[in-house]
Amino acid sequence: MNSPIFLTGYGQTKFGEWWDKGLRDLAEEAMTAAITNANIPSTAVDMIIVGNMIGELGSDQAHLGSLVSSLLPHHPPALRVEAACASGSVALHTACALLESNRAKTVLVLGAEKMTDASTEAIAAALMGAADSEKDRPSGLTFPGIFGLIAARYMHEYGLTREDLSLVSAVHHRQAVENPFAQFRSEISPEHISCSSPISDPLRLLDCSPITDGAAACILSTTCQSSIRIAASQLATDTLSISDRPSITSFTATQKAFQEALQEAGITRDDIACLETHDCFSIAAVINMEDLGFAECGEGIEIYRKIFENPEASPFAVNRSGGLKACGHPVGATGIKQVIDTAKYLKTTNTRFGAAHNFGGAGATCCLHILEHTAL
């Protein structure tokens, strides 16, 4: 970071299925919560970045920059960014660039997604937009299908079992019990996960993050100080289609983004006290542990096994919020929610560094943020 960027405030809606809230309502609720939390006048916001993926298909609404700007009395300049499931973190990355270049001093970054107004088929088709429409879609593949292919290959290469995989969602559900904003706050046993209905083999229903409504917002500022600072913001990209990659059992964008983020923050992996990782499907969480360098290839599951057996045994916290699986995955809001949960963890445990790892598609876009907590 060229200049210190502070996470001045944050707020979010409870994630879930909100029949009585539209895209605008969700955005307003999160924005208000963030501004209140930051304890600044709303007119201090001099720019808005909105992260959203399927506004057009889920709510017949494009032009989300203006939609959100309309909610503030002074209608600050606003733009929308889209990078599939990484839309939220890429919005944060965009905000960092504007702040670093001094284009803005205080930016409202808002991620919002309204997914339950349209039919499940329509949402599934819209999410498939995160894959390659010419190379992936004509085969009849769905997004769970893509991760089914990844999981099947991973199991073939490393001998991961169905029972192992169930530990991931079990850990996430258990950790979400404490999170008032999570969509699902109940423990689920690995056995129950293993026998949930099949979606795309070997993945089952409880391996997949749900369809969720929700919004999350952050106030990033170079002037309004706080105890949380953005220590690194890195973006990396890979091929859109998995059929263009030499390997489907690791995501190079994750490796690259984290490497560079650690470098930017000037720290090592061991300094990370907590991690919010992108577990859109259980297999993704296992692969992320390896790509982020916390486990050797084929051994990502060991971290989850350790946490499942004894939550305190892991040297760093993983998805304490419940991850995408249990919190819900309102696509454009997830990347921002991860940063919020990381900040909360650092504050409550009084630890220093935390990382938020968010990716889009099958790891085609990866955006990583490292937060530093310093007692003021």
Partner 1 sequence: MPDSSPVAHRHARQVQKNMQQGTIVSFTTVRHPPAGFPVQPRVIALITLDDASMILAPITSGAPMIGARVFPRMQLSRINENHLRLYDIAFEVLTPKSVPLDVSFPGYLLALTGPSGVGKTTISRQLVSMFATHTENVPILTTRKPKKGDDGEYKYISKKEFEIMRARGEIVAAVDLPSRSEERSYGYLATDIEAIWHKGMLPVVITEMHLLESLAMHYGRRSILSFGLLPPGRSKRAMLSALLHRLRTRGRETEEAMQDRLQNAERDLAFFKEREDLFDHLITNDNLDSVMALFQQKVPSLQEA
Alpha-carbon separation of residue 72 from 34, 37, 48, 78, 224 (angstroms): 13, 16, 10, 11, 19
Q: Decide if residue 241 touches partner 1 (CB under 8 A).
A: yes
Q: Decide if residue 140 touches partner 1 (CB under 8 A).
A: yes
Q: Restricting to residues 147-206, name those near partner 1 by CB under 8 A.
A: 148-153, 156, 197-203
Among 112, 167, 242, 324, binds partner 1 (CB under 8 A): 242
Phi, psi of 305 (to 5 degrees): -60, -45
**Contact track, partner 1, 35-74, x by CB under 8 A:** ----------------------------------------
Among 136, 276, 291, 341, binds partner 1 (CB under 8 A): 136
Beta pairing, strands 5-12 & 214-221: antiparallel
Burial zone of 32 (CB within 10 Å; 0-12 exposed, 13-18 middle, 19+ buried): middle
Amino acid identity for residue 311 in this structure: P
Task: Report, in Å, the least distance between residue 365 CB and partner 1.
Answer: 20
Structure tokens at 235: 């973006």
Task: Report, in Å, the least distance between residue 241 CB and partner 1.
Answer: 8
Task: Report, in Å, the least distance between residue 133 CB and partner 1.
Answer: 7
Angle between helices 300-309 and 162-176 in degrees, nearest 10: 50
Among 121, 159, 180, 312, binds partner 1 (CB under 8 A): 121
Peptide bond into 4 cis (omega under 30): no
Helix (H) or strand (E) holding 108: strand 106-113
Q: Decide if residue 144 touches partner 1 (CB under 8 A).
A: yes
Nearest to 271 by CA among 302, 304, 290, 293: 293
Q: Decide if residue 365 touches partner 1 (CB under 8 A).
A: no
Catalytic residue among 85, 280, 327, 367: 85
Task: Report, in Å, the least distance between residue 48 CB and partner 1.
Answer: 32
Q: Decide if residue 125 touches partner 1 (CB under 8 A).
A: yes
Task: Report, in Å, the least distance between residue 129 CB and partner 1.
Answer: 9
For 307, which DSSP code?
A: H
Are 37 and 10 in contact, with CB atoms under 8 Å apart?
yes
For 197, which DSSP code?
A: P
Catalytic residue among 278, 329, 369, 373: 329
List active site positions: 85, 329
Which residues of the shown chain bind partner 1 in the complex (CB under 8 A)?
121-122, 124-125, 128, 133-142, 144-145, 148-153, 156, 197-203, 241-244, 248
